[in-house]
Structure 1
Amino acid sequence: MPIFDHLGITVEDLPRGIAQFDPVMQALGFERTDADNSVAWYRDDETELILFPARESGTGPHEHGHVGWQHLAFAVDSREEVDRLHAIALAAGWTAVRDPKVFSRFSERYYASFIEDDSGIRIEFMHNPPPEAPAH
């Protein structure tokens, strides 16, 4: 059983949020399901990300560094996948916060990019393979 079952995110403009999230979530292998006043993406029937519209218009965008959301990191299988997802997100209207690169402060293996949508929601695509076993 996964520790995280689902994540709900509130966005300022639901149709715009769907337009920005859908290409990214589908590229990550999630399947979309529309509902009344929300949309959800599922993967392996275990993980769900849900977008909801703001209850009050004009309350966004979220400001990074304020109390609340920081970012969600998606672990992927390669640096090339980080690059591919970053490009898909930019084409869907996300803004690059940090282009793909090695973040050596974590490790020389940690390759990631950070993007932000119109509602100030920040996500990361990251690849951090385990260290190679020493040769005998």
Structure 2
Amino acid sequence: MALFDHLGISVADLPRSIAQYDPVMTALGCTRRDADDSVSWSLGEEELILFPARDAESGPHEHGQVGWQHLAFAVDSRDEVDRLHAIAVEAGWTAVREPKLYPRFNERYYATFIEDDNGIRLEFMHNPPRETAAQSDA
């Protein structure tokens, strides 16, 4: 069983958010489905859904306050982290942290953080198991 079934995010401007999320979610291999007042992307049974906020003036979300912190997507390589970062920035996301190693987590942890117009922060990260990292270095 998956850890999450779906994640819903309220956004101030649904068309603008679709333009930001669609290239990223498509690059992650997700399938898009449009509905009357929402749009979703799924990969298997897991789904990310954007909804228009009830009060568009209530945002943007501020990182570090109560609520959303970030959502991390695990990817297969550092090159994939770099590729997704470039796609997101091209789609209008703000680079919070450029792709780099995070030795404070471990010597293999490579990630980037991006933020959309709503203050929603995503992370693309590659953290191979120690054995796999050692084998790929050989």
1:81 aligns with 2:67: no
Across the aligned residues of Structure 1 and Structure 2, the Cα RMSD in angstroms comes to: 1.3
Q: Which amino acid aligns with 1:17?
A: S
- Could you list the per-position Cα deviations for residues 38-64 of structure 1 after superposition, in whole angstroms to 9, with x for gaps in the alignment? 0000112x1000000110121110000
- 1:31 match: 31
1:121-132 mapped onto 2 (5 Å cutoff): 121-132=120-131
User: What SS is found at the alignment partner of 2:82?
Assistant: helix
How far apart are 1:93 and its partner, in Å?
A: 0.0
1:108 aligns with 2:107: yes
Is the contact between residue 11 and residue 56 of structure 2 (CA under 8 Å) also seen in structure 1? no
User: What SS is found at the alignment partner of 1:89?
Assistant: helix
User: What SS is found at the alignment partner of 1:15?
Assistant: helix
Question: Which portions of structure 1, spanning 4 or more consecutive aligned residues, are displaced by more than 6 angstroms?
Answer: none
1:1-136 mapped onto 2 (5 Å cutoff): 1-44=1-44, 46-132=45-131
More helix by share: 2
CA distance in 2, matches of 1:60, 1:19: 18
CA distance in 1, matches of 2:108, 2:3: 26
CA distance in 1, matches of 2:66, 2:78: 31
Unaligned runs of 5+ in 2: none
User: What SS is found at the alignment partner of 1:9?
Assistant: strand
The alignment of Structure 1 onto Structure 2 pairs a total of residues equal to 134
CA distance in 2, matches of 1:110, 1:131: 10
How far apart are 1:3 and its partner, in Å?
A: 2.0
Is the contact between residue 69 and residue 121 of structure 2 (CA under 8 Å) also seen in structure 1? yes
- Could you list the per-position Cα deviations for residues 17-72 of structure 1 after superposition, in whole angstroms to 9, with x for gaps in the alignment? 1000000000000000000110000112x100000011012111000000000000
